[in-house]
Structure 1
Amino acid sequence: MNYANKITLARIALIPLFMLCFLNQSSFLFAIIIFAVAAGTDKLDGYVARKYNQITNLGKLLDPLADKLLIAVALILMVQENMISSWIAVIIIGREIVITALRMVATEQGIALAADRYGKIKMVLQVAAIIAILLNNVSFSLLTEVRVDLVLLWLAAGVTLLSGLNYIVMNYQLLRTEK
């Protein structure tokens, strides 16, 4: 197993640790740190895979799965603790399910659908929003009375919807014409 895939597996392994720390109020700060580190490994594994020519089919499968699991777990836990509304989690997780289904259809047709820049922007906004919400807007409240965490969350939800629609539109014709 190459280094890039090990980094991705480490991200997946951090998810249960994040959950345990999140649910244990005395370890909540550790949960935030673990989430941020896990989210940061997304960039790192991609960099290592490209720099050292370690791009594999396993990595192509595990990397987006690790991202989806990390974000979905964080959203579900935040809904459980009434930190966010459930409809936000439904939008974000629902988009991931739809796009994953679309990718599965494409794979069956022998088509590889690459992530686009909007998907990458979506991921960054989701991570930023989750961290800001986990911090309860504390770091921003020193500078402004605007709920930056909620602004980021709404922005993340909007970009998530738009990126999903863009992905479907951009790949629909490709899937229709390939047989």
Structure 2
Amino acid sequence: MSIPPAQQVPTLNIANVLTVVRILLVPFFIWFLLLDESADDGSGGLFRWLAVAVFAVAIYTDKLDGDLARSRGLITDFGKIADPIADKLLIGAALILLSILGELWWWVTIVTLVRELGITVLRFAVIRYGVMPASRGGKLKTVIQTFAIFLYLLPLAGLVGEWYNWLAVAVMLAAVAVTVVTGLDYIVQAIRLRRSARASGQPGDPTS
């Protein structure tokens, strides 16, 4: 019995629906974080904790949709593109808001966003040659970024001590380093993908 081709996998499936849900959660995360009025002891107000909860749910959908896509064979080109875009929207919103609130250096946000937006544009620029799925390094980058943002979002410094802030800074700097390195790796992938398309005379290549 032959295996159905990948293009027959329906775009409307549970994995892609979860990806779209993650995108829809971003406005709620932004709204809650901007509405928050932290307590005097630095423990954070109700909306801060709601923002943390929404962020946690959104990140969980990232793991869940990936697991479902792989286990049920629901991997689609839409998912390969939409999933990293959903991650970038959530991560980008969190970094920008933390910088606006004065809790994170702007240079960290700028470096990260330039990398993320640049790689997104690059993905679309080479899509005629093929889709660049998220690499292992890219997934590691997302994990470290997520952990760093969680540390910044959780209003625990006033409760557990100043060491918590130093931990958050250290993890965020590690996230920036991995972000830059994996960005360079994606550029190399794009170059190889284009060269491979040109060598095979792929119709999408202008030289074919």
Q: TM-score normalised to the size of structure 1?
A: 0.90
125-134 or 21-30, which deviates more: 21-30
Question: Letter of the aligned partner of 2:30 in structure 1?
Answer: M
Question: Letter of the aligned partner of 1:73 in structure 2?
Answer: A
Contact kept? 1:137, 1:148, Cα under 8 Å: no
Question: Letter of the aligned partner of 2:176 in structure 1?
Answer: A
Question: Letter of the aligned partner of 1:94 in structure 2?
Answer: V
Aligned pair partner of 1:161 in 169, 173, 180 = 180
Structure 2 CA distance for aligned equivalents of residues 75 and 146 of structure 1 = 16
Aligned pair partner of 1:42 in 21, 37, 62 = 62
36-45 or 140-149, which deviates more: 140-149
Gaps of 5+ in 2: 1-11, 37-45, 199-208
Are 2:90 and 1:79 equivalent residues in the alignment? no
What RMSD over aligned residues (CA atoms) do the two structures have, in Å?
2.1
Are 2:108 and 1:88 equivalent residues in the alignment? yes
Q: After TM superposition, give the deviation of residue 145 of structure 1 in Å.
A: 6.2
Structure 2 CA distance for aligned equivalents of residues 173 and 163 of structure 1 = 15
SS at match of 1:88: helix
Query: Alpha carbons of 1:141 and 1:112: their partners in 2 closer, same or farther (altered >3 Å)?
Result: same
Structure 2 CA distance for aligned equivalents of residues 92 and 155 of structure 1 = 12
Aligned pair partner of 2:170 in 151, 166, 169 = 151
Structure 1 CA distance for aligned equivalents of residues 163 and 169 of structure 2 = 13
- Give the equivalent residue in structure 2 for 1:117: 136
Structure 1 CA distance for aligned equivalents of residues 165 and 35 of structure 2 = 29
SS at match of 1:147: helix
SS at match of 1:126: helix
Structure 2 CA distance for aligned equivalents of residues 58 and 167 of structure 1 = 19
Q: After TM superposition, give the deviation of residue 4 of structure 1 in Å.
A: 0.7
Question: Letter of the aligned partner of 1:47 in structure 2?
Answer: D
Percent identity, please: 38
Structure 1 CA distance for aligned equivalents of residues 29 and 164 of structure 2 = 29
Are 2:34 and 1:14 equivalent residues in the alignment? no
Give deviations 1:5-52, integer Å, cap 9, x for gaps: 111111111111111111111311110111111012111101111111
Mark the structure with the bigger radius of gyration. 2
Q: After TM superposition, give the deviation of residue 60 of structure 1 in Å.
A: 2.0
Structure 1 CA distance for aligned equivalents of residues 120 and 164 of structure 2 = 38
Are 2:42 and 1:31 equivalent residues in the alignment? no
Residues matched between the structures, number: 178
Q: TM-score normalised to the size of structure 2?
A: 0.78
Query: Alpha carbons of 1:116 and 1:134: their partners in 2 closer, same or farther (altered >3 Å)?
Result: same
Query: Alpha carbons of 1:94 and 1:137: their partners in 2 closer, same or farther (altered >3 Å)?
Result: farther
Q: After TM superposition, give the deviation of residue 73 of structure 1 in Å.
A: 0.6
Contact kept? 1:140, 1:148, Cα under 8 Å: no
Q: After TM superposition, give the deviation of residue 111 of structure 1 in Å.
A: 1.9
